[in-house]
Amino acid sequence: MRDVVLRANGIGKNYRKTRALNDINFTVYRGDICGIIGRNGAGKTTMLKIFSGLITNYDGSYEMLGVKDTEAERVRFRTGSMIDTPSFFAELTAYENLMYFCIQKGVADELKVDYILRVTGLAEDKNKKFKAMSMGMKQRLAIAFALMDEPELVFLDEPSNALDPMGISSMRELFRQLNSEFETTFVISNHILTELYSVANRFIILDKGKIIKQLTKTELKEQCKRGLYIRCDDVKKTTLVLENELGLYDYKIADENRLIIYRFSDTSEIVKNLVYKNIRIYGVQETGISLEDYYKSVLEEQG
């Protein structure tokens, strides 16, 4: 049986009038890279703050690394997190900042600091003062900080923010490497599904504080395989047949003669119904849909 490292049980959070999270339930297993996807304001940061101990006032509960949330401080040292930019000392260099935090944790390990600066691509800038670092460098330093103590479970809130494309891809590579070598478990948020697709093995789609979809990478691939392009003489009439006769609401109109249907099961049934209603079909093609289209269709379903 797979080792559960994090389990959320009905987590909710109110900020005065805003219900930021509502009845959040999910499980993360050791070795997962779990992507939390959601548009602005979906509740990603709030959720990661709760698991990182930065928010202590919430509904529901969670278990982490074998203990209840009420005991989570005992296992916090086995986790790493990057949520907002941590407060580094402006006058200290990247190296000195990490060394300072190492000393705070009781480990003044120069090799460890050098290693983490190297793998996060900061070796050349290690003597730069924090105040003189670019946004991307600051982001790398924050990631370095989260990963420094060989954590078993890492929470990263939008780690690709401020990184250039090379930086994004090298960070993904680093997460994959830590995951495969040490079975490090990651919970990573992002507002773009495609950014997490290549690195995550599980996806949780969050919207307006609720989980609207949870799926594995295999399931996601399956969903994206299925799209049915239809070219016909009357798109409007086609949509009426789809909705009223076949109960299919998940489609997108491309133009007055073409539309794409998502998550359908039987192509011949669709064609049969359209022909029966005297719609002229010029072409039918089963095709894949893009990750972005899939993500949009899931969000649109919620209204």
> Interface residues with ligand ATP (CB under 6 A)?
15, 18, 20, 38, 40-46, 191
Closer to ligand ATP at the Cβ: 36 or 119?
36
Closer to ligand ATP at the Cβ: 44 or 202?
44
Closer to ligand ATP at the Cβ: 40 or 70?
40
The distance of closest approach from Cβ of residue 159 to ligand ATP in the complex, given in angstroms and rounded to an integer, is 13
Distance CA 118, CA 95 (A): 11
Distance CA 303, CA 291 (A): 19
Distance CA 203, CA 216 (A): 6
The distance of closest approach from Cβ of residue 246 to ligand ATP in the complex, given in angstroms and rounded to an integer, is 35
Closer to ligand ATP at the Cβ: 18 or 61?
18
Closer to ligand ATP at the Cβ: 85 or 257?
85
Distance CA 26, CA 11 (A): 10
The distance of closest approach from Cβ of residue 52 to ligand ATP in the complex, given in angstroms and rounded to an integer, is 13
- Give me the sheet containing 67-68, strands edge to edge: 18-29, 4-15, 59-64, 67-68
The distance of closest approach from Cβ of residue 19 to ligand ATP in the complex, given in angstroms and rounded to an integer, is 8
The distance of closest approach from Cβ of residue 30 to ligand ATP in the complex, given in angstroms and rounded to an integer, is 25
Task: Name, in order, each residue with C-beta under 8 angstroms of 235's C-beta and a sequence gap of 6 or more.
Answer: 253, 255, 256, 257, 258, 259
Whether 186 and 171 have beta carbons less than 8 Å apart is answered as: no
Q: In 10 A of CB 62, how many CB atoms?
A: 21
